[in-house]
Amino acid sequence: MPDQPNAGGAPPPTGGPAMPMPPQTGPTSPATVAPRNEGMRQQARVLANLGLNLLEKAAGMYGGSNDEDGAEIMSSVLKLRKKYGSVAQDLTRAEVKLAGEKAAPIQQPPMGQVRDMVQSRLAQLPGSTGVGAPPSAVAA
């Protein structure tokens, strides 16, 4: 009668085989699941908004809805704005400032190199002898 419980509520005998453990399914610890990076998603949203703003300006330069290309750009911008919305202007300004700080600095070439580049370009122009001062210095 092993299927029936003990009459006195005594614990079952411990001499039998151990119960097998059920197999583990799914992740066993939080480290195996990639964390959601909301900050990165917000930054992507700000950058997408910057791109949409630029596309709106380009559509306006094409002539807006009066031009076929402008109307097509505006149509795409409106669809994307519905999906991604827009962000606050202060977030956009902060993102532009951060992007500027991350940009590589512009280095000016030495003045001697600039002078040589200007002279070589002047020599390539038609009707130029490539010698002498610039026209503004000759007229004085």
Residue range 113-128: mean pLDDT, rounded: 80
If one compares 72 and 127, the residue with the highest pLDDT of the two is 72
In this model, does residue 140 exceed pLDDT 50?
no
Q: Is residue 1 part of a domain?
A: no
SS (H, E, C) the chain: CCCCCCCCCCCCCCCCCCCCCCCCCCCCCHHHCCCCCHHHHHHHHHHHHHHHHHHHHHHHHHCHHHCHHHHHHHHHHHHHHHHHCCCCHHHHHHHHHHHHHHCCCCCCCCHHHHHHHHHHHHHHCCCCCCCCCCHHHHHC
pLDDT tens digit string along 27-84? 666 666 667 788 888 888 888 888 888 899 999 999 888 889 999 999 999 999 888 7
- pLDDT at position 136: 54
**Both tokens assigned to 124:** 């390539």
In this model, does residue 7 exceed pLDDT 60?
no
Q: Is residue 111 part of a domain?
A: no
Residue range 93-110: mean pLDDT, rounded: 72
Q: Is residue 106 part of a domain?
A: no
Q: Is residue 20 part of a domain?
A: no
In this model, does residue 23 exceed pLDDT 50?
yes
Closest CA to 118 of 108, 133, 103, 105: 133
Structural domain total, the chain: 1
- pLDDT at position 107: 73
What is this structure's pTM? 0.43
Q: Is residue 8 part of a domain?
A: no
Q: Is residue 22 part of a domain?
A: no
- pLDDT at position 75: 92
Q: Is residue 69 part of a domain?
A: yes
Which residue range is the domain that position 67 belongs to?
38-98
Q: Is residue 85 part of a domain?
A: yes
